Structure 1
Amino acid sequence: MDRIDEITTAELQKKLEAGEKLELVDVREDEEVAAGMIPGARHIRMGTIPENLDKFDKETEYIMICRSGGRSTNVCHYMQEQGYKVRNMTGGMLNWQGETK
């Protein structure tokens, strides 16, 4: 299995605070995101990623987010196999210290 690029929650927070435009995708379930998402993230549930591939662009890098980093790793492997550029946010929302909305 190919290695998945990773970004820590702290690195991501720094980039967002610096005003970097990043494509964030939260793959958690509806009730999980109701408790708060990183501002600017798009919510596409893990189970619906295959039918939503047309919403992704192969030239863009996406940062995948879940609760602890496990599901988003699986999504990253799947999407990487389909030819997309992805990065996993390690530690997930459990480690996220930044703002949520």
Structure 2
Amino acid sequence: MSFEEDDGQSGYVSELLEGGYLEGAEIGAAKAFLAGGDLSPPQQYVFDSFVLRKHEPGACKRCRNGIDWPEKYESKHNGGFCGYCANVIHKADRDD
């Protein structure tokens, strides 16, 4: 899967890498994924377990819906909200 073909997963992995969230084998697995090559079984395990699952923000804390790949990195920084709910909360805070 190339960066242009996926649903935002590559962007999220790239942001985790650039943001300094990954370490050790996680960095190698993330770079291999972003390069578009096939991951070896150990790399795939590290990628699935320690890149994706470890950094999964979970469901939105307001609406409980899943958070799309393009919004996951921001969700890690806004308290765990999807883009829509983060905007609603931000707007409500401005109106107070």
Same fold (TM over 0.5): no
**Which structure's residues are more often strand, by fraction?**
1
**TM-score bracket for this pair, using the shorter chain length:** under 0.3
- Normalization by structure 2: what TM-score? 0.27
Q: Larger C-alpha radius of gyration, 1 or 2?
A: 2
